[in-house]
Every structure is written in structure tokens, then in C-alpha cells.
Amino acid sequence: MTFPDRNQGGSGVYARALVAAMQARGDIDVHELRSGPPGLMRTTMWLARGASRQLGAAGVDLLHCPNFVVPWRVPVPFVVTVFDVSARSFPGDHPFEWRAYERWVLPERARAAARVIAISELTRRQAISVYGLSEERVVTVHLGVEKRFFNDDFTQRDGHNLSVRPRLLFPGAPVARKNLELVLSAMAAARPGTALANAQLEITGARSEQFPEQAARVAASGLNDRILWLGQVSRDEMPSVMAAADVCVYPSLYEGFGFPPLEAMASGTAVVASNASCLPEILGDAALLVDPTDVSSFSEAVEAVLSQDALRARLIEAGRRRAREFTWERCAERTLDVYRDALAQGAR
């Protein structure tokens, strides 16, 4: 849990939710393993020596590393989860030490694993290709959506007045692969009198001073009075923030799974997302999927959702239905199957 402990989103949500779902089953004894406080040298030493000592003392049968990083000298079979290979396609989105680990250490650690879990079929295919893994050892296990996002107290009501100022939500920090530029271009180019021309955009996960290049783009586009930087929104607050939006916009160029649009669907918010990467696999036909490089197509999709009540209602209904297919109980069941396969392989 060392690295999930340090991440409130993404892999951190996955690890914590999976542990809770495993513990609720009653047929598996779960131990949580973690290093001490953060620090590159301290953590490296723990990976090299401390983790193996803790594993020996705990007497476990198998180790699961849910956030890429695997200790050395692991005395039991281990499983590692791979979220994506974005460090190869979008290196600027990651710090140097992570890029170095992903390129020079992770491939060997993944090949040494009894099983590798990929969180989407796209990630599975890419992990096999990039890390040189055998196909039979890499298993796709979809993630879940936290129950808090299905709270009916947060979901939109039919009486929400879009004419006041439609609210678009861009969930997460605007790193390069998330493609905020497409949203800004569409807003700046929207025809006067349209819903999109009147819309405001809320950005979660960052403040403007953390992303000066994007903030400068906002100013240059004349959108300062229509963009609201919400900063790091807590997990407790996120369901209400998502439910208050009229459209969740997610034109990402690359994803390993895509938590935010699924969470928006669960919250009762219509989604316009990219048709690239794994998003068609995860979102299905419950979102409007568009080319993330085509400003015109994106604009038309958002305008349609904002201006057509029937379309918006259909997407909301389909989205909540789709989101319910992704449960942590199902994820835990599939993950336990992977554990059994890994232990059976070790017994042979």
C-alpha cells in the first residue's frame, strides 16, 4: 500500500476499494504492507530490503502490488497491476523518477510476476507488447465505481435550469493527455447564442497556478470569467460536484481505464468523452464519444447534450445503468481468481 497511500485518486482508490471488498468477503485474509514516510532513498531501501522482511514476518502466501511498484527479493509469488503505459506516450505527464522506473525496472518486475492484472483490455494488449509479457499471464480485470457516486441525494433533477449558465465539468488535473485544450478551443469558438457559448467550465484536481501554461491559454482565449479552478476536490465532495454539472467533458487522448466519466455517469450526469484509447471499451454507448482532435465534433456533441432534453435524459439513464456494471465486489471476485491461478502456477 506504500504508493496507493500517497495517491488519493486513481491507483489509490483502486487499492483501498479492493482491500475493502476483499475483507468483506470473509474467505481471504488480507494483510496491508507499507513502508514508512515518503522519501526517495528511504522508499528505495524499503523496496530493496524492508519489504521482504515484512513479508516473511506476515507469513503470507501471495503479494499483490496494486500500483506498478514491486519490491525486490519477494519470497512468495506476486501479482502486479498495470494501469497504463502513459509514461511512454506522454512522458511530460510524469516525474523523471517514475519514467526511469517504468522503462528500466518495471518490465523485468512484470515478467517475474506470477500474474499481471491489466485494468482494461487495451492496457492488457499494450502491457504484453511493451513489457514483453506472455499473453496467458496477463488478465483483464475491470475496476469498480464507489457506491457514494450513486447517492440519489446528489443526482440531477429534471428542473435544473440550463438557461442560467450551463455547467461543464472537467474532472482531474489538466495534464497533456487529458486534452483540456480541446475544451477551451470549443468554448472560445462557440457561436453566440448557443448553450456552449454561455457555459462555464469547472476544473477539478488543480489550481491555475499549478498549470501556468493552461492558465495562460485560458486568458488568451478570453475565457477567464467562464473557467472555475476548483483545486483538489476531496473524494467526499466529488459526487456532489459531479452531480451538479450538466455535462462531464472527458476528451482524453489516453486512458488506462477512466474512473471520472464512469463516476459522472453514476452521479447522474451526461458524458461527452473521447472515442480514443480504452474509453469506448469502458463507457460503451452510454456516452457521446467523439474524435478528441476534432473541435467541431466535440462542440456539436456538447451543444446537443445541453440543448436536447431527450438526449440528455437518455444519456443519464444509460450512464447510470452502465456504471452499475462496474462493482468492486465483481473486481474482488475476478482478482481472487487471479490469485488462485498465481498460487496454482507456483505449486507446479
Q: Do 238 and 341 share a domain, yes or no?
A: no
Least confident of 18-27, 162-171, 209-218: 162-171
The CA-to-CA distance between both ends of the chain, in Å, stands at 29
Whole domain around residue 52: which residue ranges?
2-144+327-347
- The verdict on 229 and 307 lying in the same domain is yes
Phi first, then psi: what are they for 174, rounded to 5°?
A: -85, 55
Quick one: 66 and 197 in the same domain? Answer: no
Same domain membership, residue 260 and residue 272: yes
pLDDT (0 to 100) of residue 341: 95
Residues 135 and 155 in one domain: no
Q: Do both 139 and 161 map to the same domain?
A: no
Residue 271 belongs to a domain with what CATH number? 3.40.50.2000
Asked whether residue 174 falls in the same domain as residue 295, the answer is yes
Are 272 and 258 members of one domain? Answer: yes
171 and 85 in a common domain: no
pLDDT in tens, 284-293: 999 999 999 9
pLDDT digits over 115-136, tens only? Answer: 999 999 999 999 999 999 999 9
DSSP string, 134-182: -GGGEEE------GGGG-TTTS--TT--TTT--EEEE-S---GGG-HHH
3-state SS assignment for residue 55 = helix
Domain count of the chain? Answer: 2
What average pLDDT does the segment 51-70 reach?
89
Could you tell me the CA-to-CA distances from 314 to 267, 302, 306 in Å, in that order? 14, 14, 13
Same-domain status, 199 and 94? no
Q: Are residues 80 and 42 in the same domain?
A: yes
- Residue 221: pLDDT band with limits 50, 70, 90: very high
Answer yes or no: do 125 and 254 share one domain. no
